[in-house]
Structure 1
Amino acid sequence: MTSDLHERSSDEEDTPLAQSGKRRRAAQVTIDEEYDTEDGEYNSDIALSQVSENLNGKTTPEVEEPPKRVRRKVKNETPKKKTTRKLKKIKVESSPKKLTTPKSEEDKSVKEEEDEQEDDGGYKWWEAEKEDDTIKWTTLKHNGVIFPPAYEPLPSHVKLYYDGKPVDLPPKAEEVAGFYAALLQSDHTKNPVFQRNFFDDFLEVLKECGGTLNGIEIKVFSKCDFNKMFEYYELQKEQRKQLSSQEKKQLRLEKEKLEEPYKFCELDGRKEQVGNFRIEPPGLFRGRGAHPKTGKLKRRVYPEDVVLNLDNEAPIPPLPEGQNWGEIRHDNTVQWLAMWRENISNSFKYVRFAANSSLNGLSDFKKFEKARQLKDHIDPIRKDYTKNLKSKIMLERQKSVAIYLIDVFALRAGGEKSEDEADTVGCCSLRYEHVTLKPPTTVIFDFLGKDSIRFYQEVEVDKQVFKNLAIFKRPPKQPGHQLFDRLDPSILNKHLQHYMPGLTAKVFRTYNASKTMQDQLDLIPNEGTVAEKLLKYNAANRTVAILCNHQRSVTKTHAQSVQKASDKIRELEWQKIRLKKAILQLDKKQMKERPKFFEEVEDITKEDEMAIHKRIIEREVEKCHKKFARDNDKRKFENMELLKESDLKEWLDKVEEQRLNFEQELKTGVVELKMASTVEKLDKQIEKLDQRIQNSAIQLRDKEENSQVSLGTSKINYIDPRLSVVFCKKYGVPIEKIFTKSLREKFKWAVESVDENWRF
């Protein structure tokens, strides 16, 4: 075995050993009216509706409503005078500073190329200003949306069977049956709710189509056999997998060519990226958690269902003969390009600008600036809600407890849910059974939060908060009753507006997430390697994710991923021990001079070495076969002469030679060094391996600690991105380690507007 193997980095995964020549580096109701403290009577006759009526408050869903200014474009219409916008400077608190970039020449060139692309005509909206927030744009042109492909009927021999008989289904009904068949072996189809909802909608579509084509009447779900359809879809899936890399590449290029006109729009004369310009395809709704609508049919969306939004002068995107858009609007007070109503929850779906667009960037900027403003008001808010915890007015007590819970434990506000929605709750919609009290001041929260993620926390609360929760739970309340029966989010948010314009319960989550991150980053010492600093950054991010209850289930591949990482570390340790053995072969005196250095030489057993050798050889054999297939795919596509089996055999022979060398080395204990080496050179190689082992161990620890926490949600949506930028600039960490390319584009305003001294 040559010393070359020691130098091979983990980046060489796809290059077989035999082909790697060079090394690579790496309403005010009082308490007395509602609750008599002497006899314990609780008056439930005064309902929330009365409180809301007295306050003139109405609960409104937080959904973007269709714009008020709507009209269809008419031929020969005189266009209105365009709205002009004056620009006003947005303040940035510090001058920008360059981020640490990779040192290698290759990385430098890549970075320079990216910088050139970003600087070329880039619109720095954060250096401009807007006077009128209601006007989002002056001109807007785009090419509409892409609709999912039309349904292709199944071959005549592939059918649904009912009670053992083949059924001829109309295409629309066959498509719906196919949605279920494709999921036949998934966990979804084992869910009785999913089965029932699908079958109800399937029968409805079948009725719309006039029934089956061969007169078979479908009534009972259990008599339906989807196996033939499932087998067909599995065969199609397998055939797609068998496509060569070049064929897949060709299909991808064709898809990109089709999508190219829809990827960008013209906003106020400049090119901006569009977000998701595809209409959602039909299918079966799955939902998250125990969703009551799981399995229902998401119906196909047609052009007649879609409303487009563009300026008066923009050309209307064409459609095939006989098709028309549902409506054309010219509303420059909204940020969407197209919308339609989906049938599952009867809500609107929107095509918006991409995350890196100037309008979305401005929206993010305002959101985090609003959270920063809260720090100037948080003390009086806390003082007031602490005082009102003892208020004689029940509504005031409930508001105070709710704000306390939202502020201290980052609970979402919550809201009303209809019976056909998932039973998820927030602070204002907590019920009797969601809160358990353990004297003197322990509270156990147990409920399903957003996306049906369980919120379970056992916490210590203020003594008066505990007392109030006990009052809120007193008879005649019982499981199913609202804990905050005088309160809803609209009342709470209206109350918060008195402290600060635009303040809502949601702002508290953003504020507390960013404030917590700032406090955590302040604790990180500016020392150690980049990997060590990243570990501390992720630990800070994890603290925020836990605060916000951003959980995730352990992925199915987690155990396999951890095992692979552990094996990698063990291989690196073996390489290091092997090099130390080589040093002793060159100079036996080294053992006496550095006894501690060579202590680990005896730590590895022959069984461990054999297992490592086996993994290496198996991996190399697999790489040879993959390279052979990949190269031949490419050659075939380019009409070149194909590699022969003899070429593959030549590669495999070299791997076999390596296997024999391993056997010999294990037998004799002598390390074969192909290249002339010195003790000094081997020491340097060992030093590099130590660094790689340390970094790999840190990454493995990070992977295990983050297995059940979603860091991305808090990092992208709740932590001010400028904090991450400051961390990178202050600690010398490349921004690429924190933000992906798409996130660097999304948060370009943050990257370029602060230096290392900026604070949230």
Structure 2
Amino acid sequence: MSSDAYMSSDDDRPLGSLQNDGKANVGRGSANGYAKGEASDSPMSEDEDMPLSQVTAPKSEPVTPAKSLRRKRAVALDSSSDDDDTPLASSPVKQSATTPMPGTSKASTVNGHKAVKAESDDKHSSTTVKKKRAPTKKGPPQKKLKREDHDASASEGEEAIPVKKEKVPRKRKSKVKEDTGADVEEPGKSKPTKKRATSNKVKDGADGSVTPQPKKKGKVKDEGEDEEEVYRWWEAQQNNDGEVKWQTLEHNGVIFPPPYEPLPSNVKMRYKGKEVDLPSDSEEVAGFYAAMLETEHAQDATFNKNFFEDWLKVLQDHPPRNKIKITKFEDCDFRPMFEHFEAEKAKKKALSTAEKKELKKQKDAFEEKYITCLLDGRKEKVGNFRVEPPGLFRGRGDHPKKGALKFRVRPDDITINIGEGTPVPVPNMPGQWKAIVHDQTVTWLANWVENVNGNYKYVFLAAGSSLKGQSDMQKFEKARELKNHVDRIRKDYSADLRSKVMADRQRATAMYFIDKLALRAGNEKGEDEADTVGCCSLRCEHVTLEAPDFLIFDFLGKDSIRYYNRVSVDPQVFKNIKLFKDNKENSDNLFDRVNTSLLNKHLASYMKGLTAKVFRTYNASITFQQQLDEGTPANATIQEKLNAYNHANRMVAILCNHQRSAPKTHEQSMGKMRDRLRSLKYDRMKLRHVLLSMDPKYKKQKQYVDDESDLDDDWIEEYEESIKNKEIEKAEKKFAKDNEKLVQEGNKPQPDSVLQEKIEAAEAEYKRLAKERGTGKAKLKRDRAPEKIEEAVQKLDEKIKTFKLQMDDREAGKEVALGTSKINYLDPRITAAWCSAHNVPIEKIFSKTLLTKFPWAMEVNDTWKF
């Protein structure tokens, strides 16, 4: 049997292999419990970016808290911690000093082209959506995209969003099916789609920007759902740059997690072999740890230490009822509790489909009133209305507080923000709200302070809401505006690299790093925070000089992800770093005369609202646009174009240091894909053998004579056995399900002979395949014309080629997280325009969540450029 490595011929290799010799493979921790209240600690799952298969939780821009809470924040609002990466509902009371830094020297050059370069001569000047433009004709009506499920593609695809006429962007009319398991039409075979949307809008021929028209509402219908109104804010003349964000706001507050239910009396943890009778309060905390007993967290010394210290504090107030004194962590045995939790999970998993549907129905009915709010009389979705339950803090990377106890949040911890004169929501647990405010200058609905890090947690509107959408558009428009100033800024900081004023020279060097390497600005950090740094907080130990002009960066960036980069720099920058390090200890700050506030104040003198963060968004988007323009192949298949798109996305992810360790399931996933590839080749082999049996003329044609190189007798026998077993399992499940339905309807169940007949048919088919094995001949269950079989072989050839490209793409991206840049740093209009220009269905790139998050971006035509 051939090796399980790659089974791609030379001409099927990836369009652009990812080369990143210097990047570290430092991953994130595990997922943090319940919610969006704090950033998810888990690495992005392997399929996180698979379109329409997994709903991601897009992160939200942090929103300034109410005036009554502003004075509690320790750092000025102009500090440039990367707000784009702030979780949907988390913002620190004290601004975190960490702003990790991205980048990799390889990201700066791709195929000999500079990835980040000056844009002074960019013919597409920055524009805003409010600028009047000459009208152009609308595109022709577009048909509904066909999709076909397949086990080898993302997971099951969801139907793209159908639209009503001239209400929301229309779906593409390309007839391309799912990448695997379906035919892929060549670009020449499908009618090109030039425009994605048909709403009343005016476009400019130069850059494709949109002039909104005053239509306010449209309809969008998701599969299986009723139509609901969508506020098309981007078509209304809105101006939310002022203090007031809304006029009226009404909502139902938040959902608190259910109270703790004590364990059965026969489930007890043990201490030195003896059962411990714990009160509910201390038993609940012990259960938090027991549930994680077989995770990596329970093997972490810091996690165990912090948990045990906090648990001992709880035990002081709620000691064991049988007087056992717990003093040593190593003598605790939480396994009985763990086994109980696992048994409960198994019970839930074993529930019938009807029971699961009923539980979901009850849950949905309970949550229904919390899902939406009324904003200025419009119904809008709320993002994170569930309060995070108590548990153990997991953190990211080597966080010093991981394992600490997160307290249960109660109504008297929460401040509610609603419109004046509207009904105050009633908590779904006993208690009164901490405060009721009516602050129209902020967009949060509720907030509280969590106890572990002292961070504010916020409840915001959903990612697809009008307020969040306006914030996103303004962010990307600001990054586009930077194109008009970037040459002047670069010219000035290049001159200041030689300034006689040390503060100016340090500032210029920091700006060089932020611009060329896309480093985050960085802030000061407290002793109880993870030791992560950014540009302004770099220490001498983080940068090593290597003659003649190389710098080696090695530090922990945001979320404790290692940033390692050996990069050639301007000779003057090399001299400056050498000068800044003179007479300093390794622990001293490299830039001792620069901080984030001073840097952002200087940047704001060039352009209103310009911060270091805007540079990061600008460089990510402009690099992405250049990579797409240079790397998208002409006259290619859909999958080849998708590989080119993902390659461009990887270049940005490397530039911004959006790394991850390869998922633990990666090899398992690749193994399944290799098996799937072999199964396609098996199907092709069988069809070849049928042709060879039908007519000797096929023996003279090379494409039908050559055997599939990686299929041997052992694998074929094993595969055919698995086919038989799957058929039997499928028959048994269907038999049981049909009988369950018959009984529910009051009818008699089918006799066992019906199932036995199907099992015997599967056994007979297996025996028939066994006889054909090794003969080079085969027959079909039903006769087909030779021309039809030839056509089927050609289709399988296309499937195999497409599937190899998918395997190459997944392997290339195993250590790069593409989701962060796609959600936060890449202007979605780049993707929308590229899809339109290259006839690629955007549903293959943007998940349902992103389509909901960026409806305004779907309005651009195929000439739009960042």
Using the size of structure 1 for normalisation, the TM-score is: 0.85
Can you list the C-alpha shifts for 1:254-292, whole angstroms capped at 9, x where unaligned?
A: 111111110011111111000010000000001111110
- Contact 2:256 2:429 (8 Å CA) reproduced: no
Question: Is 2:217 the partner of 1:111?
Answer: no
- Contact 2:253 2:427 (8 Å CA) reproduced: no
SS at match of 1:677: coil
How far did residue 640 of structure 1 move? 5.7
Tell me which of 740, 756, 760 is aligned to 2:862.
756
What is residue 541 of structure 1 aligned with on the other side?
649
- Contact 1:100 1:733 (8 Å CA) reproduced: no
How far did residue 245 of structure 1 move? 2.4
| 1:515-594 paired onto structure 2 within 5 Å | 515-523=622-630, 524-592=632-700, 594=701
User: Alpha carbons of 1:645 and 1:417: their partners in 2 closer, same or farther (altered >3 Å)?
Assistant: farther
Taking the aligned partners of 1:659 and 1:321, their CA distance within structure 2 comes to: 60
Letter matched to residue 666 of structure 1: R
What is residue 617 of structure 1 aligned with on the other side?
724
Tell me which of 122, 130, 134 is aligned to 1:90.
130
Mean CA deviation greater in 565-574 or 723-732: 565-574
How far did residue 104 of structure 1 move? 4.2
User: Alpha carbons of 1:339 and 1:641: their partners in 2 closer, same or farther (altered >3 Å)?
Assistant: farther
SS at match of 1:437: strand
Taking the aligned partners of 2:599 and 2:618, their CA distance within structure 1 comes to: 17
What is residue 588 of structure 2 aligned with on the other side?
481
Tell me which of 146, 165, 170 is aligned to 2:279.
170
What is residue 716 of structure 1 aligned with on the other side?
823
How far did residue 567 of structure 1 move? 1.4
The alignment's C-alpha RMSD in Å is: 2.6
How far did residue 320 of structure 1 move? 6.0
How far did residue 643 of structure 1 move? 5.0
Taking the aligned partners of 1:389 and 1:620, their CA distance within structure 2 comes to: 71
SS at match of 2:771: helix
Letter matched to residue 146 of structure 1: I
SS at match of 2:231: coil
Mean CA deviation greater in 580-589 or 692-701: 580-589
Taking the aligned partners of 2:367 and 2:748, their CA distance within structure 1 comes to: 34
What is residue 21 of structure 1 aligned with on the other side?
none
- Contact 1:102 1:108 (8 Å CA) reproduced: no
- Contact 1:285 1:296 (8 Å CA) reproduced: yes
What is residue 697 of structure 1 aligned with on the other side?
804
Tell me which of 739, 744, 749 is aligned to 2:851.
744
What is residue 217 of structure 1 aligned with on the other side?
325
SS at match of 1:436: strand
User: Alpha carbons of 1:370 and 1:701: their partners in 2 closer, same or farther (altered >3 Å)?
Assistant: same
- Contact 1:181 1:226 (8 Å CA) reproduced: yes
What is residue 260 of structure 1 aligned with on the other side?
368
User: Alpha carbons of 1:140 and 1:286: their partners in 2 closer, same or farther (altered >3 Å)?
Assistant: same
| 1:62-461 paired onto structure 2 within 5 Å | 90-91=130-131, 103-104=145-146, 111=162, 117-118=220-221, 121-133=229-241, 134-209=243-318, 211-319=319-427, 323-461=431-569
Can you list the C-alpha shifts for 1:212-241, whole angstroms capped at 9, x where unaligned?
A: 333333222222222222222222122222
Mean CA deviation greater in 241-250 or 89-98: 89-98
SS at match of 1:444: strand
Taking the aligned partners of 1:601 and 1:222, their CA distance within structure 2 comes to: 57
Taking the aligned partners of 1:229 and 1:573, their CA distance within structure 2 comes to: 48
How far did residue 628 of structure 1 move? 4.1
Question: Is 2:842 the partner of 1:735?
Answer: yes
Taking the aligned partners of 1:212 and 1:307, their CA distance within structure 2 comes to: 35
What is residue 43 of structure 1 aligned with on the other side?
none
How far did residue 378 of structure 1 move? 0.4
Letter matched to residue 513 of structure 1: A
Taking the aligned partners of 1:431 and 1:356, their CA distance within structure 2 comes to: 40
Can you list the C-alpha shifts for 1:530-575, whole angstroms capped at 9, x where unaligned?
A: 1111111111111111111111121121111111111111121222
Taking the aligned partners of 1:61 and 1:589, their CA distance within structure 2 comes to: 72
User: Alpha carbons of 1:581 and 1:216: their partners in 2 closer, same or farther (altered >3 Å)?
Assistant: closer
Taking the aligned partners of 1:674 and 1:61, their CA distance within structure 2 comes to: 67
User: Alpha carbons of 1:611 and 1:157: their partners in 2 closer, same or farther (altered >3 Å)?
Assistant: closer
How far did residue 373 of structure 1 move? 0.6
Letter matched to residue 603 of structure 2: L
User: Alpha carbons of 1:484 and 1:638: their partners in 2 closer, same or farther (altered >3 Å)?
Assistant: farther
How far did residue 442 of structure 1 move? 1.0
Taking the aligned partners of 1:259 and 1:360, their CA distance within structure 2 comes to: 22
Can you list the C-alpha shifts for 1:144-189, whole angstroms capped at 9, x where unaligned?
A: 1000000001122222322333322221111111111111122111
User: Alpha carbons of 1:636 and 1:296: their partners in 2 closer, same or farther (altered >3 Å)?
Assistant: farther
Mean CA deviation greater in 292-301 or 565-574: 565-574
- Contact 2:510 2:536 (8 Å CA) reproduced: yes
Letter matched to residue 271 of structure 2: Y
- Contact 2:600 2:612 (8 Å CA) reproduced: yes
How far did residue 444 of structure 1 move? 1.0
- Higher normalized contact order (CA 8 Å, seq sep 6+, divided by chain length): 2
- Contact 2:692 2:777 (8 Å CA) reproduced: no
Question: Is 2:572 the partner of 1:464?
Answer: yes
User: Alpha carbons of 1:584 and 1:227: their partners in 2 closer, same or farther (altered >3 Å)?
Assistant: closer
How far did residue 190 of structure 1 move? 1.5
What is residue 513 of structure 1 aligned with on the other side?
620
SS at match of 1:526: coil
- Contact 1:385 1:403 (8 Å CA) reproduced: yes
How far did residue 667 of structure 1 move? 5.4
SS at match of 2:554: strand
Taking the aligned partners of 1:727 and 1:292, their CA distance within structure 2 comes to: 44
Taking the aligned partners of 1:353 and 1:142, their CA distance within structure 2 comes to: 11
- Contact 1:99 1:735 (8 Å CA) reproduced: no
What is residue 52 of structure 1 aligned with on the other side?
none
Taking the aligned partners of 2:853 and 2:731, their CA distance within structure 1 comes to: 40
Mean CA deviation greater in 454-463 or 521-530: 521-530
User: Alpha carbons of 1:241 and 1:104: their partners in 2 closer, same or farther (altered >3 Å)?
Assistant: closer
SS at match of 1:600: coil
User: Alpha carbons of 1:157 and 1:537: their partners in 2 closer, same or farther (altered >3 Å)?
Assistant: same
Taking the aligned partners of 2:291 and 2:132, their CA distance within structure 1 comes to: 53
Mean CA deviation greater in 670-679 or 90-99: 90-99
Taking the aligned partners of 1:674 and 1:582, their CA distance within structure 2 comes to: 11
How far did residue 678 of structure 1 move? 2.2
Computing the radius of gyration over CA atoms, which structure comes out larger, 1 or 2? 1
Can you list the C-alpha shifts for 1:304-347, whole angstroms capped at 9, x where unaligned?
A: 11111110121111236852111111111101111111001111
- Contact 1:100 1:728 (8 Å CA) reproduced: no
Mean CA deviation greater in 308-317 or 223-232: 223-232
- Contact 1:90 1:127 (8 Å CA) reproduced: no
Question: Is 2:663 the partner of 1:663?
Answer: no
- Contact 2:389 2:408 (8 Å CA) reproduced: yes
Paired residues in the alignment total 680
Taking the aligned partners of 1:455 and 1:637, their CA distance within structure 2 comes to: 60
SS at match of 1:455: strand
User: Alpha carbons of 1:98 and 1:372: their partners in 2 closer, same or farther (altered >3 Å)?
Assistant: farther
Mean CA deviation greater in 166-175 or 452-461: 166-175
- Contact 1:144 1:277 (8 Å CA) reproduced: yes
Identity of aligned residues (%): 49
Letter matched to residue 693 of structure 2: Q
Question: Is 2:603 the partner of 1:496?
Answer: yes
Using the size of structure 2 for normalisation, the TM-score is: 0.75
User: Alpha carbons of 1:102 and 1:555: their partners in 2 closer, same or farther (altered >3 Å)?
Assistant: farther
How far did residue 604 of structure 1 move? 4.6
